[in-house]
C-alpha cells in the first residue's frame, strides 16, 4: 500500500472516531461507524482518494476561529430571509408541469409535450430515469415512455430532481468548492434515501429521493445569498461541534427553516416541506413521519460516509422514533451503508453531468 493510501486510511479513521465520539456508547451508531470505516478504507485501497468527492477537512483549533460578530452577520442575512424575492426561483419546467397536472383531464401526451419543450430537461430526465437509482427493467428511450412508466406524481418528483442542479449553478462569490461539496452531500443523501425506502419495502421511492436531495437547500440559500453568514456559522461549528447551535447563535434560525421558506415559495408538495423542515427533529406525531424519518437517516449515513459537506462535525444519535419506524438494527444499517457505497459513484457521475 502506498504512503498516500496509508495516510488517507489514518485520516479516515481519525475523522470517524472524532465524529462518533459523543455516541460511542450507542450500539447502533457503533455499527454505522464500523460500516463507514470499512467502506472508506476499502475505497482508499482501491484508489487513493476514496470517493471522488470527500468531506472537506477542517482545522479544529479554537485559535483559528475568529470571534463571531453575530449582530453584524444577522443584519446581513436579514434581507435574505425577509424578502422572498431574493430566494432562488423554482425550476420553470417543474412549475409548468405542476400547473398542467392540476387539470384532472390532462393527457399523458400533453405532459410529455411540456417536458419536450425544454431540450435540457429531456436529456436530464432520461439520464435520471435510466440511472441505477431507479433500477427500471429495460431502457426508457423516450419522454412518452417515462410518463407512461412512472405516472404523473412520480414524474413530477423526477423532473424536480433533475432540475435542481440549477440552484447550484450560476455565479457565486467566494468558496465554489463549498457549493460543490453541498451538492455532493445532497446527491449522497438522495441515494441513501432511495436505498432506505427500498430496504424497508416502501413504494413511491421518488419522493424519498427528492426529499434527500432537497433537505439541506437552506444551507445553499445562505451560502449563495449571504456567504459571510454561512462561513461564520461554519467556523463556529468547527470549534463547538454542532452546526444547528451555531446557526441559532449567529443568525437566529436554522437551514431547515430557511429551506422550508424555499419549499413554500416553490410550491413544493407538503410531504417535501415536512421533510425539509423536520429532518433534524423527526416527530412521529406530525405529517409524513416516514419521509421525515428517511430524510433524517439519509443525512446521518451520508455524513458518516464522509461524502460532501453538511456542517456535521459530530454525529448525533438516530432518534428512537426513526429507529422504530424504519426497523433499524445493526444488520439493516450496515446493509444500507454498503448499498449506498455501490450506488453512489454512478449517481454522482450522472448528477455532475446534469
Q: Mapped to the 3 state alphabet, what secondary structure does the chain carry?
A: CCHHHHHHHHHHHHHHHHHCHHHCCCHHHHHHHHHHHHHHHHHHHHCCCCCCCECCCCCCCHHHCCCCCHHHHHHHHHHHHHCHHHCCCCCHHHHHHHHHHCCCCCCHHHHHHHHHCCHHHHHHHHHHHCCCCCCCCCCCCCHHHHHHHHCHHHHHHHHHHHHCHHHHCCCCCCCHHHHHHHHHHHHHHHHHHHHHHHHHCCCCHHHHHHHHHHCCHHHHHHHHHCHHHHHHHHHHHHHHCCHHHHHHHHHCCCHHHHHHHHHHHHCCCHHHHHHHHHCCCCCCCCCCHHHHHHHHHHHHHHHHCCECCCCCCCCCCCCHHHHHHHCCCHHHHHHHHHHHHHHHHHHHHHHHCC
How much is the pLDDT for 27? 96
The model's pLDDT over 253-262, given as tens digits with 9 standing for 90+, comes to 899 999 998 8
Region 337-343 average pLDDT: 91
Domains along the chain?
3-89+171-352 (1.10.3210), 92-163 (no CATH)
pTM of the predicted model, to two decimals? Answer: 0.85
How much is the pLDDT for 59? 47
The model's pLDDT over 24-74, given as tens digits with 9 standing for 90+, comes to 899 999 999 999 999 877 765 554 344 445 544 444 444 454 555 667 777
Amino acid at each position: 500500500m502506498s504512503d498516500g493510501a496509508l495516510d488517507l486510511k489514518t485520516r479516515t479513521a481519525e475523522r470517524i472516531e472524532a465524529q462518533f465520539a459523543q455516541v460511542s456508547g450507542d450500539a447502533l451508531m457503533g455499527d454505522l461507524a464500523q460500516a463507514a470505516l470499512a467502506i472508506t478504507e476499502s475505497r482508499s485501497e482501491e484508489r487513493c482518494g476514496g470517493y471522488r468527492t470527500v468531506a472537506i477537512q477542517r482545522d479544529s483549533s479554537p485559535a483559528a476561529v475568529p470571534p463571531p460578530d453575530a449582530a453584524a452577520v444577522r443584519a446581513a442575512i436579514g434581507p435574505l430571509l425577509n424578502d422572498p424575492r431574493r430566494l432562488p426561483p423554482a425550476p420553470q419546467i417543474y412549475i409548468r408541469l405542476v400547473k398542467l397536472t392540476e387539470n384532472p383531464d390532462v393527457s399523458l401526451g400533453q405532459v410529455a409535450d411540456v417536458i419536450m419543450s425544454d431540450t435540457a430537461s429531456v436529456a436530464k430526465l432520461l439520464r435520471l430515469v435510466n440511472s441505477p437509482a431507479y433500477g427500471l427493467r429495460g431502457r426508457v428511450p423516450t419522454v412518452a415512455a417515462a410518463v407512461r412508466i412512472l405516472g404523473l406524481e412520480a414524474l413530477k418528483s423526477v423532473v424536480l430532481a433533475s432540475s435542481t442542479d440549477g440552484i447550484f449553478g450560476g455565479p457565486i462569490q467566494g468558496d465554489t468548492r463549498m457549493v460543490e461539496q453541498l451538492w455532493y452531500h445532497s446527491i449522497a443523501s438522495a441515494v441513501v434515501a432511495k436505498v432506505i425506502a427500498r430496504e424497508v419495502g416502501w413504494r413511491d421511492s421518488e419522493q424519498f429521493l427528492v426529499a434527500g436531495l432537497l433537505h439541506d437547500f437552506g444551507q445553499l440559500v445562505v451560502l449563495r445569498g449571504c456567504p459571510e453568514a454561512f462561513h461564520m456559522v461554519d467556523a463556529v461549528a468547527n470549534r463547538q461541534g454542532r452546526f444547528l447551535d451555531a446557526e441559532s447563535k449567529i443568525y437566529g434560525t436554522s437551514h431547515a427553516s430557511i429551506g422550508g421558506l424555499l419549499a413554500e415559495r416553490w410550491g413544493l408538495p407538503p410531504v417535501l416541506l415536512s421533510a425539509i423542515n423536520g429532518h433534524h427533529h423527526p416527530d412521529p406525531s406530525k405529517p409524513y413521519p416516514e419521509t421525515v424519518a428517511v430524510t433524517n437517516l439519509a443525512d446521518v449515513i451520508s455524513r458518516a460516509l464522509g461524502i460532501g459537506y453538511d456542517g456535521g462535525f459530530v454525529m448525533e444519535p438516530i432518534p428512537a422514533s426513526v429507529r422504530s419506524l424504519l426497523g433499524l438494527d445493526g444488520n439493516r444499517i450496515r446493509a444500507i451503508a454498503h448499498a449506498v457505497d455501490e450506488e453512489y459513484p454512478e449517481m454522482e457521475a450522472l448528477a455532475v453531468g446534469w
